Structure 1
Amino acid sequence: MGKKTPPRTNWVSVRLTKADIRDITGQAKLAGISRSELLRMRCIHKPVVSRTDIQTAKSIEKLGRMLKHFYPKNKAWASAEDRRKFWRTIEELQHTAQALRGNQDGKCSPK
């Protein structure tokens, strides 16, 4: 189960132009969250990850998994350096996917 958030009982009023509201609404829609949640995350400096980034991250992870099937483990045509380059590419794909998701803890291992 996730953490239970305390009730939000305090309000902050901000004056914005119609263009600002449209921009905030568009950003919230891209991220798949409410305007309030978007503003809350921005105010406390949390990263806002858009759905597009999450979908892109999933696609990159899928490419990494597909590429892993072609890893030249016991192939005579691949030198040790070729295998290292191959594996580095897979790890870079995983790191890129994590960065898109906002998860940059440095721990990454292709699954």
Structure 2
Amino acid sequence: MATKTPHTRFVSLRLTESDLLDLAAQAEQAGLSRSELIRRRALNLPVLSRTDIQTADSIDKVGRLMKFLYPKNKAWATAEERRKYWRTIEDLQRTSQVLRGNPEEEKCSPK
């Protein structure tokens, strides 16, 4: 595991009271400190909110449930309908990855 480089330099910043409250609310929503939020924004790093991560987790659960419920008997649908079913699962996986800030896609395949 790589060791973290300590943050030893300081930057001063003036904000209005309402800007400070807004910044604090954004940091709270993302689960970050105000300093970390400002650092990520200044360095163009992704800032994910906890809501997005929770939504991505829920979408993953739906996708896993659909995969689990996929009928083993191929007579339940035509080949085109089965492809649509799997495309839906893949769309759910892609959406989950985008919400997590990771657009790399991993495709699932029927077994």
Q: What's the CA shift for 1:71?
A: 1.8
Structure 2 equivalent of residue 85 of structure 1: 84
Deviation digits for residues 12-55 of structure 1 (CA, Å, limit 9, x no counterpart)? 11111111111110010011110000000000001100111111
Aligned to 2:107: 109
C-alpha distance in structure 2 between counterparts of 1:108 and 1:51, whole Å:
22
1:74-108 C-alpha deviation (Å, 9 max, x unpaired): 23130110110000000000000111100112x31
Task: State the secondary structure of the residue aligned to 2:75.
Answer: coil
Structure 1 counterpart of 2:10: 11
| Residue identity (%) | 58
CA distance in 1, matches of 2:107, 2:18: 43
| Native 8 Å contact 1:73 1:83 kept in 2 | no
1:51 aligns with 2:50: yes
Normalising by structure 1, we get a TM-score of: 0.91
1:20 and 1:110 mapped to 2: Cα distance? 44
Please give the alpha-carbon distance, in whole angstroms, between the structure 2 residues aligned to 1:22 and 1:110.
43
**In structure 1, what is the Cα distance between the partners aligned to 2:108 and 2:26?**
31
Deviation at 1:73, TM superposition (A): 4.1
Q: How many residues are paired up?
A: 109
Cα offset, 1:7, TM superposition: 1.4
> Which 4+ stretches in 1 moved above 4 angstroms?
none
1:4 deviates by: 1.6
